[in-house]
Structure 1
Amino acid sequence: MALNFHPPIHYAKSEYIETDTGNKVSRRATIAGPQNIILGGKTIIASGAIIRGDLRRTGPGHAVVISLGRYCLISDGCILRPPYKTYRGNFNYYPMKIGDHVHIGSNSVVEAATIGNHVQIGKNCIIGKFTIIKDCAKIADNTVIPPNTVVPALALFAGSPGQFVEDLPESTQELIDAQTKQYYSRFQPLEQQQ
């Protein structure tokens, strides 16, 4: 069986900050309120991504936490913003939890409440407020998921508004697991030439 060779994806070492848990965060990403953002490890946050951990519930000290699991990839130009609603006259933001092995494509805007493990979100998607995406689901490129949608496990959604297209194979978890780990291992610093 021939192994597929995937060349390294090079980045300028000076452009990324690498944490002790292996997270690689672009200096050109906007991480607002970093004390309220939890990265599980081996997560890549690309140039131009915006993660809004600075948005608060009403009242002091009520920070909204955005947590990402391990082996996540937040591509260039993505915006992660916690969902919000007005309840009894109070405007509040709510936490956002993203599981392990989640790949979010370029220029997608995500305001989900929960994204499970082994989820792929394509490029240029809009994930509406309080959406729940279950494990091993896939959102095709250019899909708009309306607020409060629940995307079932092992489902492919596409279109605007996003709708169920087909069931994904049982092997989806292993495939995405392998893809995210492989991407992380290929994401290598380019040593500066003297």
Structure 2
Amino acid sequence: MSQKSEYIQTETGNKVSRKSLIIGSQNIILGGKTIIQADCCIRGDLRRLVPQGQNAAAVAIAVGRYCFLSKSCLLRPPSKTYRGQFSYYPMKLGDHVFVGEGSVVEAAVIGSYVNIGKNCVIGKFSIIKDCVRIEDGTVIAPNSVIPSFSSVEGHPGIVVEELPETAAEMLERELNHQ
């Protein structure tokens, strides 16, 4: 009897744990060489409702290249009620994004070279620019904009340090050692 590997590998080099929960996979784009660990949940079924007859992109979550989604993290598109209509909006993650164990992400955009620590909450419609480190246990308020080259921590999350211009290389190295 052959033993199945814990991970399924796609043509583009993504590795997805058989123990992860990917709902609405037709609405999720993985850029390539992304790793999704066990018990990670990605909610691609939560997508924008479009009136009949209108054509719109069905992408709920777009994940860039070389991302790492840790155990028990949750990616869920942000939602709101606008003009009496409840809807979900797309989420986009850049390249080289690390999401720590147990973190919940409902951001609109996460740039490239972003390291989100363990047990963080990234509020609805947050925008995290490139080269950002979010420390363990941080809570980013909804609609926040975190500037590039920032280190953020706390509840609510505030910028506590400015990262050097070499932050992209530093964050990529951290991601490769996870």
- Judge same fold: TM > 0.5, yes or no: yes
State the one-letter code of the partner of 2:9: E
Deviation at 1:64, TM superposition (A): 4.3
> What SS class does the counterpart of residue 123 from structure 1 fall into?
coil
Aligned to 1:54: 45
Bigger relative CO (Cα 8 Å, ≥ 6 apart): 1
Q: Deviations over 1:112-131 (max 9, x none)?
A: 00000000000000000000
Distance across 2 between alignment mates of 1:177 and 1:161: 26
1:102 pairs, out of 97, 102, 106, with 97
Does the 8 A contact of 2:47 with 2:77 survive in 1? no
Match of 1:172 among 144, 148, 167: 167
**How many Å apart are 1:176 and its aligned residue?**
1.9
Match of 1:129 in 2: 124
Distance 1:129 1:78 in 2: 15
Amino acid at match of 2:173: A
Partners of 1:64 and 1:57 in 2: CA distance: 9
Q: Which whole-Å deviations, capped at 9, do the CAs of 1:48-102 have from their partners, x for residues lacking one?
A: 0000000132346763420011110000000000000000000010000000000
The TM-score, its normalising length taken from structure 1, stands at 0.84
Shift of the 182–142 alpha-carbon distance from structure 1 to 2, 3 Å rule, reads closer
**In the alignment, which of 7, 16, 19 is matched to residue 10 of structure 2?**
19
Tell me if structure 2 keeps the 8 A contact 1:99–1:115.
yes
1:144 to 2:139 alignment: yes
Name the amino acid aligned to 2:111.
G
C-alpha RMSD of matched pairs (Å)? 1.6
- The unaligned stretches of length 5 or more in structure 2 are none
Contact 1:55 1:64 in 2 (8 A): no
Tell me, yes or no, if the aligned pair for 2:48 and 2:88 is still in contact at 8 Å. Answer: yes
Match of residue 39, structure 1, among 18, 24, 30? 30
Letter in 2 for 1:117: S
Alpha-carbon distance between aligned partners in 2 of 1:77 and 1:28, rounded to the nearest angstrom: 10
Unaligned runs of 5+ in 1: 1-11, 184-194
Aligned residues: 172
Identity in percent = 60
- Of the two, which has the highest radius of gyration? 1
Contact map agreement 1:64 1:82 (CA 8 A) in 2: no
Structure 1 residues 164-173 or 109-118, which shifts more?
164-173
8 A Cα contact 1:75 1:105, kept in partner:
yes
Distance in 1, Cα, partners of 2:177 & 2:47: 36
